[in-house]
Chain A
Amino acid sequence: MQFSRVQKLIAISIACLILLLLPFIIRNQYLMHIIILSCLESIIVIGFVAQYNVRLLTFCSAAFMGVGAYISGLLSTRYGLNFWYCLPLAGIGTGLFAFLLGLLTVRAGWVTFLMISIVISEIFVEVIGQIPALGGWDGIIGIPRPAIGSFVFVSKVSYYYLGLGLVSVCVIIFIALYKSPIGKAWTAIGQSSDLAASLGINLFNYRMIAYIAASFTAGLSGSLYAHYSCYLVPNTFGIIRSLQIPINAVVGGLHFVISGPIIGSIIMNAVPELLRITDRYELIFVGLMIILCALFFRKGLMSIFRKDITRGL
């Protein structure tokens, strides 16, 4: 199916309208909770896909979310900073952490990079758990809710809009990157890194940009997560969580760098809830989705719209 620009614009406008009015359409509080979590997760998945497209495969996305969450949680509980300071600081802090890590690992080839990401995942949980000052295994509690003046974000509806705002910011950041020459360089590296290098594209630089952008946004997402659930435990950000990210990406579509992650996150989070699939059967659902996509939707669910896509939003 090919859609004209006008049709796409109308579709996006309708989607935006639905997104804005969603809390009034869906009254179920638990479903709203799931949607908020999907929003936060989709940010991470967008970052994952961006990294994947420059041949950086990570299995520590959740750990980066955790870094952002803990920075935000610690700054607010130990030093009394309010959410609006914690948020950017968490993002910058995670970005910095990624930068330092990246200096060592991005040049190393994708296998080493992947191995180290798995190690980071494990180390993160252990380190946080073992250090009482960082909350230990019991975690941090009593993280203050965001507030603007006298309005405190308490209801799911308010958090939903906060989450929507954050997703929009991250989406804008990545669209700005993808549509710039930086995005072109990313495409080139993903297609053929040898050819890209022979054309003067500095592989390390552009990979670092993807890596840091993904980590920065993951940090932002983690920060909001901390101030939403108001408590943090290290196990939330372990490797199991990290592995859900690539699954969401694959189900949504790796070639659709923005809509794929969002659709993937929503489907993998919301559908089990809607179908009232409980604990054990959730894994079966995940497995079924993966098999379904592998068989019928090789390029993810978004490929329903364009089968021949190389890279779409």
Chain B
Amino acid sequence: MALLEIRKLSKYFGGVAAIDGLDFEANNSEIHGIIGPNGAGKTTLFNVISGIFLPTSGNVIFKGEDITNLPVHWRVKKGIGRTFQLTNLFLDLTVYENVNIGYHKNYKAGLVRQFFHTSAARKDDNICRLRTLELLEFLKISPLKDKLAKNLPYGHQRILAFCIALAAEPTLLMLDEPVAGMNPEETMNMVKLIQKARDKGITILVVEHDMPAVMNLCERITVLDYGKKIAEGSPDEIRENEKVIEAYLGKGE
């Protein structure tokens, strides 16, 4: 059974179909790319999966459960995480504090226990602290931990956004243009980090425009155009696919 199933999903904004009758599956521990020209519906797809938009018709099934109408924070609690196209960070907080808050949903102690600072709540705080430090080390940004997020260079901010999303310990992580605006070196670094996360067992959906990165990173790729799926397969298959080349890749690479 696939981790994520999208069945006959449609999302209309007024008369415009952002997504049109899409069937899609993501399997465990794979890195699955979603590409397509601008306006193909990729970010809308992410928004529907994460719950920011409700679909016009169709179903979103996660771990066998129909989550089509669940609110955002419920989906997050079930294990769906995402990053955003525009880097969304807690700007006035340090890197450490940013990632710390990312872990928030995993607290076991309830609100009352948290208010009274019981030992259960303090244990949670300790675990949170350890996980945060582990995660900063995992993505190799420990040296940055006391820097304010707003003072970081762009590349580091994107890595931080990735780190925050990982802190929530998702099962499915959707990355919206993770390497946008990065130079080749930063891109290679990001690809390695994403692969490291996959190796830990997280399923990753990636929307990207950077073709070399996508080909390098993804095991399977789905291509969208005008809200419909026009091709799906391994990077090599997609590279050769005529429809894709026509719609998107244009001449050459």
Contacts and interface: CB of A to CB of B under 8 A. Distances in A.
Interface of A: 176-177, 179-182, 184-185, 187-188, 191-192, 194-203, 205, 209, 310
Interface in B43-73: 50, 72-73
Which 5 A-B pairs give the minimum distances between C-beta atoms? A200-B105, A200-B76, A191-B90, A310-B92, A180-B114
Which secondary structure dominates where chain A touches chain B?
helix
Q: Which of A181, A182, A184, A191 has the most CB of B within 10 A?
A: A181
Interface string B77-116: 1000110100011111100010011101101000100111
Contacts of B92: 191, 310
Nearest to A311: B92
A110 B128 CA distance: 31
Contacts of B102: 199
Contacts of B91: 191-192
Contact of B73 (A179, A188, A194, A201): A201
Contacts of A185: 101, 104
B114 A187 contact: no
Contacts of A201: 73, 101, 104-105
B121 interface: yes
B5 interface: no
B90 A195 contact: yes
A200 B77 contact: yes
Nearest to A206: B111
B135 interface: no
A200 B97 CA distance: 16
B168 A195 contact: no
Given A187-B93, A192-B89, A194-B84, 18 more contacts: A184-B100, A185-B101, A187-B101, A188-B101, A191-B92, A192-B91, A194-B88, A195-B89, A198-B82, A198-B165, A199-B76, A199-B105, A199-B164, A199-B167, A200-B77, A201-B73, A202-B73, A310-B93
A184 B72 CA distance: 19
B177 to A, nearest CB: 15
Contact of A180 (B76, B97, B115): B115
B104 A181 contact: yes
Contacts of B77: 200
19 contacts: A176-B117, A180-B117, A181-B121, A181-B125, A181-B128, A185-B104, A187-B97, A188-B104, A191-B90, A195-B164, A196-B101, A197-B72, A197-B76, A198-B81, A199-B102, A200-B76, A200-B168, A202-B73, A310-B92
Contact of B76 (A187, A198, A205, A310): A198
Contacts of B84: 194-195, 198
Q: Which of B84, B97, B114 has the most CB of A within 10 A?
A: B114
B73 A200 contact: yes
Interface string B120-143: 010011001000000000000000
Contact of A198 (B50, B114, B117): B50
Given A184-B101, A310-B93, A197 B73 contact: yes
Given A198-B81, A209-B111, A184 B104 contact: yes
Interface in B134-186: 164-165, 167-168
B120 to A, nearest CB: 12
Contacts of B81: 198-199
Contacts of A202: 73
A201 B167 CA distance: 13
Contacts of A310: 92-93
A194 B73 CA distance: 11
B115 A177 contact: yes
A180 B125 CA distance: 9
Contact of A187 (B82, B90, B116): B90
A39 B125 CA distance: 33
Contacts of A182: 111, 114-115
Contacts of B117: 176, 179-180
A192 B91 CA distance: 8
B90 A181 contact: no
A240 B222 CA distance: 60
A197 B101 CA distance: 11
A121 to B, nearest CB: 29
A195 B125 contact: no
A188 B105 CA distance: 12
A176 B105 contact: no
Interface in B229-251: none
A182 B73 CA distance: 16
Contact of B116 (A176, A181, A184, A198): A176
A182 B82 CA distance: 23
Contact of A181 (B73, B89, B114): B114
Interface string B5-25: 000000000000000000000
Contacts of B100: 184
